[in-house]
Structure formats: C-alpha cells, structure tokens
A and B are shown apart, each in its own frame.
Chain A
Amino acid sequence: MTLLSVQGLNVAIHGTPILRGVTLDIAPGQIVALTGESGSGKSMTALAVMGLLPQGAVATGRVMLGDADILTTPEPALCAMRGRDMGMVFQEPMTALNPVQCIGDQVAETILVHGKGSRAEARAAAQDMLARAGLPPDRFPLTRYPHELSGGQRQRVVIAMAIALRPHLLIADEPTTALDVTTQAQILDLLKGLVADFGMGLMLITHDLAVVAGIADRIVVMRKGEVVEQGATGDVLRHMRHPYTRMLFDASRHRVSLPPRPAPVPLLELRNVVRDYRVPAKRLFASAGRFRAVDGVSFTLHRGERLGLVGESGCGKSTLTRAILGLEPVQGGEITLDGAPVFSGGRPNLDVRRRMQVVFQDPFGSFNPRHRVARLITEPFHLLDNPPDRDTSVAEALRAVGLSPGDADKYPHQFSGGQRQRIAIARALIIKPDLIVLDEAVSALDVSVRAQVLDLLADLCRSHGLSYLFISHDLSVVRSVTDRVLVMRAGKIVEQGETETVFTAPSHAYTRTLIDAAPVLPDWQDTPDPDPDRSLANA
C-alpha cells in the first residue's frame, strides 16, 4: 500500500521548468530520502506535496496522498489536510518559530486550527507531544519562548508541531543541516522513533549522503529537477547505476593529498588566551555576570602546517578566530604571530594583521555586491604601505584559484557559490599572507564543489607553502585537509594531536562522542550483497 504517490510531477515557475517528471512513492512506516545538490528540486518536490508551491508556480502530474490529488485539491481543503494528514519540518530551526509566541501555544495551535479539541485539551496534547519530542514539561514548560531554547530544542518544538495530530506523512527538509553532529544524531533518532511509533511515512530531504545511508529505507537521487536514480538504500549504494550518484558519493568521500609538512618552525602561538564577555546580571542590582567564551587556550601553529579546529556551536571557535585575527582584545594570555602580538596597546597590530587573511563561510554575504571582482580582491591592499602592481596581482591571484584574469571586471552575482568561494580565497591570497584562517569556508558548498575547493587548497599548499587554520564542524572534511587537529569544547581545547591519531584513537571522551555521532558513509560497494531479496521487496 502506498501512502504518497508522486507521478510525473512537473513544476515550472514563471515558465522556467523546475521539476521534470518526478515520480516516487512512500509507504507507511517507510523513510524515503531525497538527496542531491542544491538546485536539484528536492525542496520544491516537498513544497508541491504540501501544496505550498510559491506564487507563479504551475504544477502538472499527480501527487496522490491517499485518495486525494494535492494538485487539484482546492486551497481550503488543503488547509484542512496540512498539519492533519501531512506535517513538515524545516531546515532552519532558529527562524521557523514565531519569536513572540510561547512554544506551548504554537504546538497547541496545530490542534486548535483543525478543531480537534478545546483549548485545555490542546494544551495537554501539546505538552505530551513536546515530551515525546524530547522536551519534558518539568524542564521545558509550555510558556518558554523560542529565544530561550537552543537550535536542537527549537527543532524539537517544530517536530512536535508537525506531529501533534499524528499525520500519515511527515516531510523533513534538511532537518539537521543547521545542527551540531551530536544534536543531529539525537534528532535523527527521534524522527526514526516517531516513524516506527506512529507508522508515518517520512520524506527526508538531505544533501548529506552519510545521513541518508544511516537512516533511509529508500533513496531518491535528484539532479536539476529530475530523478536520476532511486531504489532501496543498500541496492543504490552498492551498485550506483547512474554516474551522478557515483560522483556524489565519490565527492562526499573525497580525500585530498596534502604535501608533506616542513620542519616545525612556530608561526602562530597562543598562550593561555582568555576571552570574557559581560552578560546581564541574573538578579536585580547584582553586578553584571561574566561569560568565559575562550578559557585558557594554548597552541602553536607551525609554518607550512595545516591545523584543524573542531567543536560544536557555542564552543568558542568563532570567538577564538576573532581574537586570533586581532579583531577583539583578549582578557588574558598572549597571541603572537612570529613573536609579534596581534593586539597591542589596545589596538590591533597592523604589521601582524597584514600577514593574516580570512575566508568566511558565506560566499553570498561576504562580498559587497556593487563592487567588481578586481576591487573586491584588492581590498587587503589597504593594509600595505607599498601595494604591488594591481593588475598583475589580480591576474596572478585569480589564476592561482583557477579563475581567469578576465573575471576581474565581473560582479559577484555573476559567479556560482563555489566560484565565489574561490574569489574569497583569491582575496586572502593576494597579499601573500603567512597565515590564512578558513572559518567554515566550505560548509555552505555542495559536495562536488567542496571537493574542488579542497583540492584547490591542497594545490595552493604545494605551490604557495600555505599555512592555515581550518575551522569546521564537519569532521570528515577536517580529517582530510589537516595535519593536526584541536578539539574545542566550552571554551577549552580538550584534545589536540596528529589528525589521524585523534580520529582513530581519540583520548578524550568528548572527542569520541563527536566522532561517534558523525554519520559515516559505509563502504558498501566492496561488500557482497547480504540479502538480495530485501532490496527487491523494498522496491
């Protein structure tokens, strides 16, 4: 029996085709993963199933949920179905909740809007659902507001909202992408448990193949609005009949080959660095509190070394980065580059600043959209007393990152995400810094683009003898592009050592938790099919 049956779904927005002939089925109690890179049409498929396509979208084909065709159901009937027959969980838990309404009211609303109970009953049911989603009422009363919860807790509220009426179909659009690995593991467990308990069908949209491999019964691989391959998880992973599927998996597992390290000569040194923030006092008239974001951090980065820094959100990674770059003063300890302090006499040391550059996560937000590439990447020149010849440097930097010198006259919007990240690296390289800080520099990129950017970094290590500090929450990436790694938790470095040693034999319990929580892609290609009937039965 199928719960959801999508047949030949085409969607066009203002005449531009977005989805072409998408066909897939979901049975009750089944987890079907939609995967593919950005722009593949995963989210649009989900929105079509919810009947929430954006204005101007025209859909043809059939989307059957039970006996109803979503595409021909009128809007009032769809409103009655949403939340009752189908629920949806979104990617960004920080913004998915109404900030001015307490969580109890938001969960209860699902019940109230469908007239499934009185106000008191709805609140009681909301309390039960929140508890089921992992927010027990004694610790998380219904009167909490979203801003008082962490990202993972907010995602639990969104899930409680989506399952409050026990819909037959749950759609989760990148539900864990914005979360830390340990939280991700918990949320995935929760979703899995709910599917088993309620017999729901789950459409799980994710770009992360490791997540897919660990949880899904079936995989649907999409590219540019089309389904290129689908089947039972084990079957798809083992055979990978479509070259795109193979490319996706290869890119996710991509390992770069770093050149060997030169003999250790200290470049960046941190000794007992402390960074405090003032926080409002807990009681009236009490003195302001203090929050220690970075707590006695010491490490050395050698010239030519690739050092990784991993840790979950809120552990102090970003604060530490800002301190290293000399953007903020520290309250204790010392940060030196080649022996010179990055921050001296209450102001950043420009001599040091010009020898460090940074690449940030967001390839869309980190450029002024009205400047041309040449102007963007020569920005660091203002740090120099005698900047080198502009045109030659621009051409050289663009060539180094695999772009052409002719791109100098273009605007950032003319480039894709991966190309923009190359431009960001060119901007960092142009003044030939001693150290580059890569702050989640590949986290926003698709796997295939990410693989290319990582290769570029390895190439630059060979040609330019780059030293970098690679900050990321993605353990597999850090493992492939660093020589040594630091593990940070609650402002402290809990473990540091050679990358391979830390990953294969972690000594600190927290490192072990992190590594265990991170989903890994299994190497099913090389193993024989354990049960050939299973994949057939599922298909």
Chain B
Amino acid sequence: MPSLRGMGYFIDSFTVTACVIPRHRLRGDEPPCSIRKPTGQAAMIRYVLSRLTSLAISLIVASLVIFLVVEVAPGDPASYMLGVNARPDTVAALRIELGLDASKPQRYLSWVSGMVTGDFGTSYTYRSPVADMIGDRLWISLPLALYALALSTLIAFPAGIYAASRRGGAGDTAVMGATQLGIAIPNFWFAMLMVLVFAIKLRWFSAGGFPGWERGFWGGIKALTLPAVALALPQAAILARIMRSSLLDMLGEDFIRTARAKGLSRRQALWRHALRNALIPVLTIIGLQFSFLLAGAIIIEQVFFLPGLGRLVFQSISQRDLIVVESVVMLLVFAVITVNFIVDLAYAAVDPRLRTGR
C-alpha cells in the first residue's frame, strides 16, 4: 500500500484500496528457494488459462444473478406492454410470443444462447431488436469511454511523474492542488461551463447532440470532445495522484538506492527503475475507470444530449423494459470482466514475477 502522507492524500487512500490485491501478491513471502518454479512459456500459458477460467466463471455467475434478479422483479412484461385494459387471451398470446411461458431454466438457456449468437431479444417497449438498440448506443458510448480514458491517461501520467520528481517543490504543490480541484468539481457543472465557453461564446464546438459516424470521423470526434474532457478530468486527477504516490513509494525502495550507487541520476532512476514498478496500481485504476466511463457517463450524456448506453439504461428502467436492462447490464458485466482480464495480462507484461504463477 502506498503510505498515507497526511490528510491531503485522502483520495489516494480510498482509491488505492482497489490495488491491494496485486500489490499484496507481489510482496508475498518468499518461498523457500529450493522450490523450483515453472518458468517460461508453460507458466505464461497457465497464467492466461487461469485468468480465462476465472473470466468464464464470472460471466456465468453474473448472467445467473442478473437473470434471477430480473425474474423476481414484479410485473408481467406482457401485460405491461399491452396496458391494463388488455384482454387476458391477448396477454396470453403475447406471453407465448415473447417466450415467457417456458420454464425458468429453459428461458435462461434461451436467453444465454441468444446472446451468444447476437440475438438479445425484442424490446418490450419499442418492439425492435435489443441488439440493434444497444449496438447504436455502443457506437457512441465505447468511443466516448476510450476517448476519455486516453485523455485521462495522457494528462495523468505526465502530471503524476512531474509531481513525484519534484516532491515537496512548487511544481508538486501546484499539481496536487489542481488534482484536488479536479476531484472536487462536479463534472456536470464543469461540462456546462465548457458548453458556455467553447460552444456558446467561442462556437468551436456544438453544444450537444451527435451527428453520427457516417457523417465523418472527425465530425464524430469533435462532437465527443467536450463530453470526453468533462469525463476525463476527475479521472485524470485521481489517476495522477495514484501515479504520484505509487512512484514515490517506488522511489523509496532499495533498488532505487542501488541504481543511484551505480551512477544514475535521480531522474534516470525514476524513469528506468521506478516507473515500471509503479505501474501496477495505476493499471488497476485505469481498468476500473474504463468500466466506470462505459456505463457511468449518464449525467454527461444528459448534458450533451448524447444517445449513449447510460441514457438507454435509464429509459429502459423507467419504462420497465426489463429485457433491455437485462441485456445492457450483461453487456457491461462482460465489458468489466474483459477489461479486468486485459489488466491481468498487463500486470504480467509489467512484472515477470506474475508470469511464474506467484
């Protein structure tokens, strides 16, 4: 754990809790040296397989939980779709059409096998395929999340490294103050401020909406820029703090002293030895942030009138369109678990000790 250095580091402490597991694994007790570790490719394949297995198990458990929760939710979708005055035989016919009359295990299996083949069912409210609805939204939400994540990383890495290399100096204080502000300011308010300045005053960007990718790549990017900045800023502030505290931790390690004794300057020791070791907690946070950005952008989508996933979920919940909710949630779970899998692979790329199954 990065140590707490006073109350100003409060944010670090709460975000860093997420990094406990990998850091702990790295610092575990040395096994007796006579235990021979499997090395090389077999160990790497084993590592990937074990991560893949846990990915598959997580997906199965998640799909079961989501299905059961939606099952116990009150209300019959068929009668909801047809309204309170519908005739019972019409409702029954619709139930059969929607496949609601089958047994629960059967319905679970057909839901899962449908998803695997890309058939997510039909929206209760709009009577259109759920897959198409989600697909349209995903074309906005996914680029937006990636864009925001790229911005956040591009801001956080230099800021965190700069602050750590000038620890206690004016530059460090300035960066830390800025991150404090970035965390404290609500991003919707910041978004509105940007609309006022860049859309209404300067007219560099439009105030909201999305023209669609078919109208050109740069047009789409331009429409997503203000929302991405609004999303990225608080994330960048958190990430910069993690980067800084993780680097400072590493700079206190013995191997940095060894590097300095070899003749490396403070700067060289930071870039060549501390940085890569400091990446593990940073990668953890990046993974968590991506998942959040994908689904948690609803307020920003609202401010900029973007038809993204967040708004789709919100609308579906208020319209009891449970099949859409079910599918979007499953998709998000899939995204989160996949991102975690990629983060796990990134850990192994960064740290050779994880490749040997430690």
Q: Do A and B bind each other?
A: yes
Considering only CB atoms, which chain A residue lies closest to B47 in the complex? A280
B272's closest neighbor in chain A, by CB? A109
| Residues on B with beta carbons closer than 8 Å to the beta carbon of A277 | 31, 35
Name the interface residues of B66-116: CB closer than 8 Å to any CB of A.
Answer: none
* Residues of chain B within 8 A of A145, CB atoms compared: 352-353
**What residue of chain A has the Cβ atom nearest to residue B258's Cβ?**
A96
Chain A residues in 8 Å Cβ range of B351: 99-100
Specify which of B26, B37, B352 lies most central, judged by the most chain A CB atoms within 10 Å of its CB: B352
Instruction: State whether the Cβ of A79 lies closer than 8 Å to any Cβ in chain B.
Output: yes
Interface residue? B6 (CB, 8 A): no
Q: What residues of chain A lie closer than 8 Å to B49, measured between beta carbons?
A: 284
Contact of A99 among B260, B264, B353 (CB under 8 A): B353
| Contact of B216 with A by CB under 8 A | no
| Complex Cα gap A314–B31 (Å) | 8
Residue A36 is within 8 A (CB to CB) of chain B in the complex: no
Contact of B42 among A87, A88, A284 (CB under 8 A): A284
Could you mark each residue 167-197 of chain A with 1 if its beta carbon is under 8 Å from any beta carbon of chain B, else 0?
0000000000000000000000000000000
Q: Return the contact of B35 from the options A88, A161, A279 (Cβ within 8 A).
A: A279
Q: Are A283 and B42 in contact (CB under 8 A)?
A: yes
For residue B296, give the distance in angstroms from its CB to the closest CB of chain A. 32
B16-24, B138-146, B249-257: which one contacts chain A?
B249-257
Does B127 count as interface, using CB distance less than 8 angstroms?
A: no
Asked if B262 CB lies within 8 Å of chain A CBs, one says yes
In the complex, the answer to whether A113 meets B255 with C-beta atoms within 8 Å is: no
Q: Are B254 and A95 in contact (CB under 8 A)?
A: yes
Query: Is the CB of A260 closer than 8 A to any CB of chain B?
Result: no
| Known interface pairs A98-B277, A282-B42; A83-B258 also in contact (CB < 8 Å) | no
Q: How far is the CB of B345 from chain A (nearest CB, A)?
A: 15
A90 pairs with B254, CB closer than 8 A? yes
Within A69-127, the residues touching B (CB, 8 Å) are 75-76, 79-84, 87-88, 90, 92, 94-102, 109-110, 113-114
Residues of A within 8 A of B26 (CB): 99
Contact B263 A83 (CB under 8 A): yes
**Within 8 Å of chain B (Cβ to Cβ): is A26?**
no
A79-B265 contact, Cβ under 8 Å, with A100-B350, A282-B36, A282-B42: yes
Q: How far is the CA of A75 from the CA of B272 in the complex (A)?
A: 19
Tell me the bound Cα distance from A313 to B356 in angstroms.
22
**Per-residue A-contact encoding for B21-48, CB less than 8 Å = 1, 0 else:** 0000010001111111111001101100
CB within 8 A of A82: which of B33, B262, B276? B262
Residues of chain A lying within 8 A (CB to CB) of residue B42: 282-284
Q: List 8 A-B contacts (CB under 8 A).
A: A52-B260, A82-B262, A88-B261, A95-B253, A148-B39, A150-B33, A280-B37, A291-B32
Which residues on A are within 8 Å of B, measured CB to CB?
Answer: 50, 52, 75-76, 79-84, 87-88, 90, 92, 94-102, 109-110, 113-114, 145, 147-148, 150-151, 158, 161-162, 277, 279-284, 291, 293, 313-314, 316, 490
Interface residues of B (CB under 8 A from A): 26, 30-39, 42-43, 45-46, 49, 253-255, 257-265, 268, 272-273, 276-277, 350-353, 356-358
